[in-house]
Amino acid sequence: MLRQTRAVASYLHRPQAKLWQRGLHASLPRHADPWPLPHTPEHIASTAAKSTAHIPPSRLPRPNEPAETLRARLVYQSRKRGTLETDLLLSTFARDFLSEMSVAEMEEYDRLLDEADWDIYYWATEKRTPPERWSSSAILEKLRIHARNEGKVVRSMPSL
C-alpha cells in the first residue's frame, strides 16, 4: 500500500499531472477550428481565391459547333459540376433559360462555366464580388436573379 501511495505521489509531482490538476483546456495551446462555420470571417478567409487576377484555363476550341450541340453540352456541364450546390443552381438555370438564349449568350455562359464551382456559387448568391471580367455580365446577372428565388420555388435536379 505504501508503495502505491509513493507511486501516486510521484506521479502527481510530474508536470503533466499539474496540467491535469489545473485543467487541460486552460493550459494547452488553442488550435484553429479546421471546419469553421460558413460565412464567418475564418471561412471566408480560408475559401477566398488566392488572387482576384485568377485566369480560368484556356478554352478548348470547338470550331463550327452547332447551336444545338452547344446547348446540349451546356445542359450537361451545368448539371455535372462537382458540388451539389452549384449543380442545383446551374442545372435549374440551364433548364429555365438555355432554350431561349442566343448563341452569343450561350458562349458567354460557356465561359462562365470555365470558372471554379465555388466562385460561381458565391458570385451568383452575391456572397462575394466577382472579378472585373464578370462585373458587367448579363448572364451572371440572370443567374443572380435566378439564385435569389424570389418566387420561393422548390427546386430539384432536372433529369438529363
Nearest to 125 by CA among 58, 57, 67, 39: 39
Task: With a cut of 80, say whether residue 88 has pLDDT above it.
Answer: yes
| pLDDT class of 158 with cuts at 50, 70, 90 | confident
Cell of 157: 435536379
Q: For residue 156, what pLDDT band results from cuts at 50, 70 and 90?
A: confident
Residue type, 76: Y
Structural domains in the chain, sorted by start: 67-148 (1.10.150.250)
Give the per-residue pLDDT at 42: 83
pLDDT in tens, 1-28: 555 555 555 555 555 545 555 555 555 5
pLDDT on residue 159: 78
The grid coordinates of residue 36 equal: 469553421
DSSP string, the chain: -HHHHHHHHHHHTSHHHHHHHH-HHHHSPPPPPSSPPTTSHHHHHHHS-S-TT--PPPPPP-TT--HHHHHHHHHHHHH-SSSHHHHHHHHHHHHHHGGG--HHHHHHHHHHHTS-HHHHHHHHTTSSPPPGGGTT-HHHHHHHHHHH-TT-----PPP-
